[in-house]
Amino acid sequence: MCEGRPPPALALAVAVAQVLMHTLLAPGSARAVPPDAPTILRRADRAVLGETAAYTLRMTVVRPRKPERVVEMKGWKKGDDQGLVRYTAPPKERGTAYLRSGDSTWLYLPSAEKVVRVGARQNFGGGDFSNADIFRLSLIKDYDPTLAAEEVVEGQPCYKLELKAKDRSIAYDRVVYWVRTDGTFYPVKADYYTLSGKNLKSLVLSQVRPLGGRTRPTLLTMESRVDEGSRTRLEFLSILDDVKLDDRLFTASALERGE
């Protein structure tokens, strides 16, 4: 045995310790030093859709004692604040379209052939999502995040982020947001609160599966905390990330001309 070399038992212990340390402290590990809150939020913002994306959606609105109603849509997004959604089914709603650009939201009503400016807090398509929920897919722009805790939610170890609205024009004053700690940064759940502290609704992101070339949550379920039993499911049917989109797609003129 050479001087200075640890005995075999000790070497084994050191190796095991090194492996454990490496595993526990590796990026993405549940036990790693967590990234800062803005980084978590930024990564979570891109977990569902890329910087630009074209997608198809199915929205199902569930109301107590009423049959489920289904609407299908095509959507496009670019950056944090440009989005366009067109209804494709049912036939009576075909052509209805929502546009978001900056802080503005417009609705195109094909029956009146008219573009109407609407509020960001308006319910989207009669469901439990608001226009802001649909089109402001980036929360980092509107909220200041802090990392409150790590806890298990929906069976997943998560970072618990407290998001505080940057100003009073934002749809919700406070959002509690859970993001997976496993390095994927998939959002798992969000609770939305009013200025008075009332929990308005909760969002659960599930059905993590490959879609459009990468794995991501594909089902978003928004449940009302005000109207018991009311919830709305948004299911991504297809997604194309990083498509090239002209800014002129996100204009009132594009709304009027139709697809």
Partner 1 sequence: MTAARFGMTALALLLPASLLPAQDRQIEVGLEGFAYESATTSLNRDNVLGLDDYPGLGRLAVGWRETHGSFRAVFRGYVERTWGTAVDDTDWVVRQGYAQYWRGDKVGIRLGKQRIAWGSGFAWNPTNRLEPPKNALNTTLEQEGALAARLDWVPAAWASLALVGATTDVTPRDLPLATPEPERRNSVALRSRFVIEDTDVALVASGGKNQRTLFGLDVARDLGWAAVHAEAAVYEGAEMLPARDDTTFFRLVAGALRTSGENAFALEYFYNGEGYSDAGAQRWLAGLDRAWAAATDRALPPEARQQALAVYAAGATIPYAAGLGLRRNYVHASWTRGGATSVWTGAVRTVLGLDDGAFALTPGLGWAPRGNVTLNLDAILLLGPEDSAYRLAPVRGALQARLKVLF
Chain residues binding partner 1 by CB under 8 A are 59, 61, 66-67, 69-71, 87, 89-94, 96, 101-105, 111-114, 116-123, 125-127, 168-169, 246-254, 257-259
At which residue do the structure tokens 């469901």 appear?
127
Strand partners, 107: 98, 116
First and final C-alpha spacing in the chain: 79
How many whole angstroms separate alpha carbon 144 and alpha carbon 150? 18
- Output the smallest distance, CB 189 to partner 1, in A: 23
Backbone angles phi, psi at 99, to 5 degrees: -130, 135
- Give the closest residue to 59 by CA, choosing from 86, 34, 38: 86
- Output the smallest distance, CB 214 to partner 1, in A: 28
Query: With respect to partner 1, which residue has the nearer C-beta, 144 or 259?
Result: 259
Query: With respect to partner 1, which residue has the nearer C-beta, 169 or 215?
Result: 169
- Give the closest residue to 177 by CA, choosing from 198, 156, 165, 162: 162
- Output the smallest distance, CB 38 to partner 1, in A: 25
Q: Which long-range contacts (CB under 8 A, 24 or more apart) does 201-204 make?
A: 201/128, 201/225, 201/226, 203/133, 204/154
- Output the smallest distance, CB 88 to partner 1, in A: 9
H runs (alpha helix) in the chain: 8-25, 37-45, 131-135, 252-257
- Output the smallest distance, CB 241 to partner 1, in A: 20
Query: With respect to partner 1, which residue has the nearer C-beta, 7 or 67?
Result: 67
Query: With respect to partner 1, which residue has the nearer C-beta, 42 or 69?
Result: 69
Beta-strand ranges (E) seen in the chain are 52-62, 69-78, 82-89, 97-101, 104-109, 114-118, 143-153, 156-165, 174-180, 187-193, 199-211, 214-224, 231-241
How many whole angstroms separate alpha carbon 120 and alpha carbon 113? 21
For residue 166, the tally of other CB atoms under 10 A from its CB is 11
- Output the smallest distance, CB 60 to partner 1, in A: 8
Query: With respect to partner 1, which residue has the nearer C-beta, 100 or 180?
Result: 100
- Output the smallest distance, CB 181 to partner 1, in A: 35
Query: With respect to partner 1, which residue has the nearer C-beta, 101 or 156?
Result: 101
Query: With respect to partner 1, which residue has the nearer C-beta, 111 or 196?
Result: 111
